[in-house]
Chain A
Amino acid sequence: MERFSTVFLIAGVAFFGVSVFVMAWMPFVHMRDIPYQPLEQVSQEMIPEFAQLAEMFPDAFKRYYPAGVTPVSYAKALRLGRDIYVAEACWHCHSQYVRPVSNESIRFGPVSVAAEYANALEFPQLFGTRRVGPDLIREHGKHTNDWHVAHFWNPPDIAPTSVMPRYPWFYEAAPTEAEPDRYVLNERGIAIITFVQWLGSWLEEYPATLYNLNAAGAR
């Protein structure tokens, strides 16, 4: 009784230790052998959408990514894209894992596995806990670059019921009256679209999902 406060100190730390052992250490040991991919490795295999962005916005691309369509530029865009994804809290409206339940593999694509997250762009992971918009881990190729360019400018233009915010600061210039379809991305715009298009690009083949089952172009 005399040293009751010491009991709390020790018990407090011990219980905490038990929980860290079971809830953190054991999963860590379990998944330790999954090879970790640093950014240099992730960026070796470029997605075609990145090259296409360079074609769509040649001036802006050259200005911000002077190394051209190379793994160096690609790594830079992915890194910045992820930073934006974190800063704008996209991850509080979009999750990044497909669960084996609730027909999610039909809606989004193959169920997520741990190995997909052992890389520099999921560090810390971006699992997310809320889906206001759809899951994004199988986003690669689901929409064209054009679609994304118009979507980030003002989502309700594309999906009238969308509650996704607009991101005009991803653009160098606003479309004008004369050219309503002419959007020019800036560095951040190129980066976020590269990052979103990268998600799921590691799958061997493009999955059959609700998106391509519903007549193409439905969304």
Chain B
Amino acid sequence: MSSQTATRPLVDEGLVKAMIIASMAWFLISLMGGFFFSLQFLQAYPFPKTELLSPGRVRLIHTNLIAYGFLVNGLLAGLTWAIPRLTGRPLLFNRFSWLLFWVWQAIVLLTFTGLLAGHAQALEWGETPTGFRPGAFNLTDMTWAPVDILVVIGFLLVSINYYTPIILSKSKAMYVSLWYFSAGFVWTALTYVMGNFFPEYFLPGASGAAVTGLFIHDLVGLFVTPMGWGLMYYFVPLILKKPIWSHGLSLIGFWALAFFYPLNGVHHFLWSPIPMYAQYGAVISTIAVEVVVTTVVVNFFATIVGSGQFLRDNLPIRWFYTAMIFYFTTCLQCAVQVTLTVQKIIHFTDWVVGHSHLIMFGVFGFWILGVMVHLWPKLTGNEWYNPRLNHWHFWLTAVGMFIMFWDLIIAGLIQGYEWQALAPWEQSLISSTPFWLVRTISGTMIIVGQFIFAYNMWMTARGARSRLYVTAPQAA
């Protein structure tokens, strides 16, 4: 597969493999964090007296490892595989890519230990420790490794590494995946600098909140989303063995996303002391994003028309398209929940938690898992140890996610209406308990699915073959 250039292979497959392993490892740790935190809601937290495992800190582990451990590593694995193939050129760095990889894992590890040791930064999705006293940038006053700065340097080097082959690419017209990737590389470092430094050192109070909202949103919208869609535009036509339905539509989808998505930020703090015009603007552009998303989703579903059997026979395609249905669901939900009327009820409730799980895991997480299912046999050179386990993985995860989403949505509505009705706070806790129980159970389904998958990956890498499939090889 990998065509050789004179000096080195086009794709460093070992690196892709290492990234997938790292992604999976952080993912499992993060899931355990989420699981333990959910037990707190059932008054059954297993380590109530251990300071380092205080439930709040464990919650920070859950989100930060998902973002910087699971998603970043998983997306970069896909990019490392796809970009050289799309451009015909290897990444800029050879050995240095490996160094970057290890430095990135060190950054995640520093975040992990820093959060547990109580060095969180008060910025949602960017709790990665600043290393400095809050509000002050004073070299003599360091409290922890300056993870924020390391992340920015890391992102910049990664961007240079992956952007160079795109710039040097000989082909005249760029494929849509590469639009998304290049835009994503430009945005990520900007987003991180804006979101982690300005509210921390320059913008107190409400004006800092506006930037924080922008950061929460842009991290999803300007890093994860473009990378994720770029990978879909690459893998889906490849597996289906046919071109994407409409090139024009993908053009519209891209440019509209690039324009409207960044304007959504303030919708995370609606009805807050941030000036209302910014809030109105955010609401309107959020609704506009829904239109954009529809074009992209239509494009992909038009592509699969006539190839429906892939949904049954091809597991990666099933992951990809399930996630696209979830994507459409979340975006439709977004257009509704962002209105100031709906916000009155659902803001601050579990509705939002359900929404973010569906988008971060149900969409981007699913895509990454699909890419892993697709690439792992190629990377290890072995057939799947037991393809049936992969089906268990899919169904446990997808059904678990579906249940968790609806469970939290309903819980959110109940909480919101009870608060509005001025019921005592205890009442909202009592009403939520059954939903929190279902949340833990559905989460457990997801976790079991991932451990099954990790086991299958491990056995596949070892070259093992389940006895079932040695006797019945055609089953795959």
Contacts and interface: CB of A to CB of B under 8 A. Distances in A.
Nearest to B51: A169
B429 interface: yes
B210 A23 contact: yes
B206 A125 contact: yes
Given A88-B57, A102-B345, A19 B134 contact: no
B135 A123 contact: yes
B363 interface: no
Contact of B273 (A82, A112, A159, A161): A112
A206 interface: no
Interface in B97-127: 118-124
A131 B351 CA distance: 11
A26 B278 contact: yes
A63 interface: no
Interface stretch (A9-17, A47-55, A69-77): A9-17
B344 interface: yes
B174 A5 contact: yes
Interface string A1-39: 110110011011101101110111011101110101000
Q: How many of chain B's residues touch chain A, expressed as a range? A: 35 or more
B272 interface: yes
A186 B263 CA distance: 46
A126 B194 CA distance: 18
Contact of A16 (B169, B190, B199): B190
A22 B134 contact: no
Interface string A81-101: 011101111111101010111
Q: Which of B122, B186, B255 has the most CB of A within 10 A?
A: B122
Contacts of A167: 54
A40 interface: no
B135 A13 contact: no
Interface string B22-42: 000000000000000000111
Nearest to A130: B348
B205 A117 contact: yes
Contact of A118 (B51, B205, B258, B425): B205
Given A20-B214, A123-B205, A86 B120 contact: yes
A175 interface: no
B173 interface: yes
A12 B205 CA distance: 28
B426 A15 contact: no
B118 A87 contact: yes
Given A18-B263, A89-B57, A165-B56, A12 B183 contact: yes
Given A9-B182, A125-B209, A86 B422 contact: no
B429 A124 contact: no
Contact of B422 (A91, A97, A107, A127): A107
B262 A18 contact: yes
Interface in B52-71: 54-57, 59-60
Q: How many of chain A's residues touch chain B, expressed as a range? A: 35 or more
Contacts of B265: 19, 23-24
Contacts of B56: 87-90, 92-93, 165
Secondary structure at the B interface, as helix, strand, loop or mixed, is helix
B58 to A, nearest CB: 9
Given A86-B134, A89-B57, A166-B48, A12 B258 contact: yes
A97 B273 contact: yes
Contact of B43 (A92, A129, A163, A210): A163
Contact of A12 (B169, B182, B430, B433): B182
A159 B426 contact: yes
Contact of B429 (A107, A120, A123, A161): A161
Contact of B55 (A15, A128, A165): A165
A218 to B, nearest CB: 8
B74 to A, nearest CB: 23
Contact of B204 (A27, A83, A104, A124): A124
Given A113-B273, A124-B212, A127-B269, A161 B121 contact: no
Contacts of A84: 118
B266 interface: yes
Interface in B195-217: 198-200, 203-214
B182 A112 contact: no
Contacts of B183: 8, 11-12
B172 interface: yes
B173 to A, nearest CB: 6
Contact of A122 (B186, B204, B266, B424): B204
20 contacts: A5-B166, A5-B174, A15-B262, A20-B262, A22-B281, A23-B211, A23-B214, A27-B207, A31-B206, A87-B57, A97-B273, A102-B419, A107-B422, A114-B273, A123-B134, A124-B208, A134-B425, A163-B43, A218-B424, A219-B424
Interface of B: 40-43, 45, 48-49, 51, 54-57, 59-60, 118-124, 134-135, 163, 166-167, 169, 172-174, 178-179, 182-183, 186-187, 190-191, 194, 198-200, 203-214, 218, 222, 255, 258-259, 262-263, 265-266, 268-269, 271-275, 277-278, 281-282, 343-345, 347-349, 352-353, 416, 419-422, 424-426, 429-430, 433, 436
Q: Which 4 pairs show the lowest CB-CB distances between chains A and B?
A: A89-B56, A117-B205, A19-B262, A87-B118
